[in-house]
Each structure stands twice: as structure tokens, then as C-alpha cells.
Structure 1
Amino acid sequence: MTEILSMSRAVAALVHDGDTVALEGFTHLIPFAAGHEIIRQGRRDLTLVRMTPDLVYDQLVGAGCARKLVFSWGGNPGVGSLHRVRDALATGWPVTLDIEEHSHAGMANRYVAGASGLPFAVLRGYAGTDLPAHTDTISKVTCPFTGEELAAVRAVNPDVAVVHAQRADRAGNVQLWGILGVQKEAVLASSRALVTVEEVVEELTPVPGSVVLPSWVVDAVVVAPGGAAPSYAHGYYDRDNAAYRAWDAVSRDRDAFTAWLTQLREDG
């Protein structure tokens, strides 16, 4: 049964040291508030999975929470690089970081396979790249019907998926809309799911194009207004472009980042 919990209780119950954690959301609905609570609780040795790592994963890596990053693109959207990730890869500060890189299509298909209970997914992809030579979750299969050689990617099944949504009802059914990524697939592929929402309502009224995650796939709902900021929540608030630009200077400098980290922990 889905529980409506505080952020601290939900993260303590569902995110553990050594877990594989997927914080998903594309362009908007990025679960920043949950990521910040993971940092405050000092989780370590996490394998962080995300199609498009941006600021929240830069922050988690800089805080020393991660030992591995599994992704298909990484950067500060519209601004530049993730400098805490770059520092970890180049110097091992604050801890060494392993990476596993895929294409967008490959990562999306890994989630779909995991959600479908399949061991791998098949796609036309990776041709002309050297990713298969460096990534042991990419292989090849021959189609039994046509003889065509295709790419195969191992399913990904995180221990816990963390997503943000616009709203949930009191039974724990979750509704999200706008530009969608792989939130649904990540939740279905994972053993546990934590969903932060802008609000809890008595009834989920229909919204064109919305996705509803039923309560039986959600372990905990956390009411976290503004929980996707500085990304946006469609219908609730806009993207804070200035925050993304400001992060570039913070993330470039270890002292500036350490000051940001100290303030984050104090604010919690």
C-alpha cells in the first residue's frame, strides 16, 4: 500500500547505500528535492542511472554519493559541462567515479526491457560507434527471421526509481503530464518507487496526454511543492534559467561547491 510520507522518512526507507537509483524526468519534473535529501542523508556507493544527467547528478556526484554513473548524455542544459562529474572522472574528487555510456535509444530500451520483465532489448543502433567496445551491457544478436545483425542492450532494473509529478490522490495514484521521459518505465522497472508531487488532491481529474502511475507501483508519495525546481513542473511553475547559469560557476570551483553543499545541509 502506498504511504504518504515526509521526504526524510521516504528517502530513509527507500534509498540505501549501494543501491542503483534512477532519478528520472525529462526537461521538467526533475526530482531535485529528493536528490537533495539523498545528499543530506549521506548515501554512499550509489549507482546513478539517468538518461540525461544534469545538475541534480552533478550535485550528487560532487557530494560523494555515487560510485558509478549510467547515462546517455550529460551536461548543464543550455550552459555547458557538469564540472563536478568531470572532476570526479579526472581526479577522483571527492571519490572515484565509473561511467557506463549508452545512446538515448539504448537507455530508453533498457528501461522498457526492465519494465517488461525481459532480460534485454533489441534495437537498430550503435552502428559506427565504439560504445559496444567499452560497455559490457551492449551486445549483438542475429534476427532469427531475417538474419539481420542488431544491437542488444541489457535490461536495467534499478533498486529504486525517484520521480516528480504534478499530483497524487490520497490512495497514492500519481498523475503527471507535459513533456514526458521514461518515468513510467523507470518506475515499472524498479523494485521500489518514490514519487514527489506538487500536491495531493481528492480526485485525479483527466488531463490530455497524462500518465497515471497506479498506487500498486508506488511505495511512497511525498508532498514537495517546488520539488522539481530549478527545472519546471508543467502547469505549476517555470524553469529557473538563472539557476542553471549560476550553477556553472559553483560547480567549476571546489570551494564554491563545498560552500553550496554546506548550505544545502544546513537548510535541511
Structure 2
Amino acid sequence: MAEFLSLHDAVSRYVEDGATVAMEGFTHLIPFAAGHEVIRQRKRDLTLIRMTPDLVYDQLIGAGCAKKLIFSWGGNPGVGSLHRLRDAVEKGWPHKVDIFEHSHAAMACSFEAGAAGLPLAVLRGYVGSDLPKVNDQIKFIECPFTGEKLAAVPSVRPDVSLVHAQKADRKGNVLVEGIIGVQKEAILAADKSIVTVEEVVDDLEASTNACVIPGWAIDAIAVAEKGAYPSYAHGYYPRDNRFYKEWDAIARDRDTFQTWLDDNVYNAGGQAR
């Protein structure tokens, strides 16, 4: 059952060195505040999982938190490469990061399988793709009923999942509105989970068919206003497109990145501006 904690205490309690960590949120509701708290607490040797690693994972990798990345498509949306990710993969700075790249479909299926408690996900995919040549997590199996060749990938079962949402009620139920990614599946698939929210309310006022993550599936809820910034939170604040453009120059240079990290994460204790 969900417990209301500070973000510091939630990360300290549930994110351990060497853990497998998923941080989800698609286009908006990206858990930047949670990611920055992981950096501040200098967590190490994490296996990071995310469908679309963008700036928050570039920051975590550049800060030396990650040893492995399981993902589909990685980049700075609308701008270009993730330069801290590239530096780690290509030149081993601050240390080498192993990567396991999947398709979007495979990652979504993996989260769904993990949420269902299954060991693997099966899908029609990877036909003609080169990814199976470089990712040994992709296997092929034969359907026992039709004989069809199908792709199989491990389910995603994180030690801890971190997501951001608009609001929680006082019973610990969480409402996710706007573009829905795999936040619910990430929570259900994880052993432990942390949800940051913009606010706590008496009534979620959830509409029919709304995405509500039940409090029994969540371990910790932390209030983090603007916790998705510089991404956006539907109904609360817009995306800071300028920051995404500025990040390209910040992340290209190691010293510039380290200065940004010191000023905006380690010493600021809040979201980057």
C-alpha cells in the first residue's frame, strides 16, 4: 500500500546500488525530479530501462549512475543525439555502459509481460532486422499451435519503477492523464515502485476509462511540483522546448555537462531551469 514520503526518503529506501530501474513517461510526465534525486544520492551500477531514453537518462549516464541500458530509440527529441550516452558507449566516459536495443513494440510487450508476471513476451517482429545480431536478448521460437516463427524477448521485471503523474488521492491512488505510455505496466511489473505527483487531492475526479494506478500497487508517493520539467505535464505546464535545444550544447562537452550537473542537480536540489 502506498506510503507518502519525501522524494529523498523514497529513493534512499527503494533504489539500491546495482538495482534494475525503470523510469517511464512518454513525451510528457517524464520523471526528471526522481532521476535527479537518484543522481544526487550517487546511486551506482544501475541497469536502466526505458522505452525512449532521452535527457533524463543522458543525465543519469553522464553522472555515472548506469552500467547497462535496455531501451528502444534513444535521442534528444527533435534535436539529435544523446551525447553523454554516446560518450559512455563509444569512449567509456565516465565508464562503459552496455546497451541492449529493442523495438518499441518489443519493449511495450516486455512491460506488459512483466506486469502479468510472465517470464517473456512473444511478438511478431524483428523479421529482416539486424537487432537480433547485436542483442542476444532477442530469440526466436516456434508457435506450438501453428508452427509460426515468432520473436521472444525477456519480460521487464524491474527492482523498482519510478513514474510521474498529475495527482494522487489521500488513499494512494494515482491518476495519469494525457498521453499514456507504459507507466501502469511499469508499476505493476516492478518489485517496488515510486510515483511522484504534482499534488495530492481529496478526489481524483477520474473520468470513465481513466488510467488510475491503484494504491495497493505503489510503495511510495512523493509530491514533486514540476517533477516532469523540462518535459510537460498535461494540464499543469508546457514542455520547455528551449531547454531541449540547449541540452545539445551542454551535453557535448564533459566539463560543461559537469558544471551544469553541479549547478542544477547536486547543489540546487531541484529541477533544472
TM-score range, shorter chain: over 0.9
Matched, 1:111 2:119: no
Q: What's the offset of the Cα at 1:208?
A: 5.3
The aligned amino acid for 1:8 is: H
Which runs of 5 or more residues in structure 2 are unaligned? none
SS at match of 1:64: coil
The aligned amino acid for 1:61 is: I
The aligned amino acid for 1:131 is: L
CA contact (8 A) 2:31 2:164 kept: yes
Equivalent-residue separation in structure 1 for 2:261 and 2:153 (angstroms) = 36
SS at match of 2:267: helix
Give the corresponding residue for 1:89. 89
Equivalent-residue separation in structure 2 for 1:82 and 1:260 (angstroms) = 15
Equivalent-residue separation in structure 2 for 1:179 and 1:172 (angstroms) = 21
Q: What's the offset of the Cα at 1:65?
A: 0.2
The aligned amino acid for 2:86 is: R
Which runs of 5 or more residues in structure 1 are unaligned? none
Q: Deviations over 1:101-154 (max 9, x none)?
A: 100001111111111111111111001112112222211111122111111111
The percent of aligned pairs where both chains have the same amino acid is: 65
Equivalent-residue separation in structure 2 for 1:256 and 1:88 (angstroms) = 16
1:49-128 alignment runs, 5 A limit: 49-128=49-128
CA contact (8 A) 1:88 1:96 kept: yes
Equivalent-residue separation in structure 1 for 2:71 and 2:208 (angstroms) = 30
Equivalent-residue separation in structure 2 for 1:119 and 1:10 (angstroms) = 28
SS at match of 1:267: coil
Q: Deviations over 1:233-252 (max 9, x none)?
A: 00001000001001010000
Give the corresponding residue for 1:226. 226
Q: How many residues align structurally?
A: 268
Q: What's the offset of the Cα at 1:209?
A: 4.9
SS at match of 1:22: strand
Please, what TM-score do these two structures have when normalized by structure 2? 0.96
1:1-268 alignment runs, 5 A limit: 1-207=1-207, 209-263=209-263, 264-268=265-269
Equivalent-residue separation in structure 1 for 2:92 and 2:84 (angstroms) = 10
Equivalent-residue separation in structure 2 for 1:144 and 1:254 (angstroms) = 52
Please, what TM-score do these two structures have when normalized by structure 1? 0.98
Say what the alpha-carbon RMSD is for the aligned residues: 0.9
Q: What's the offset of the Cα at 1:207?
A: 3.0
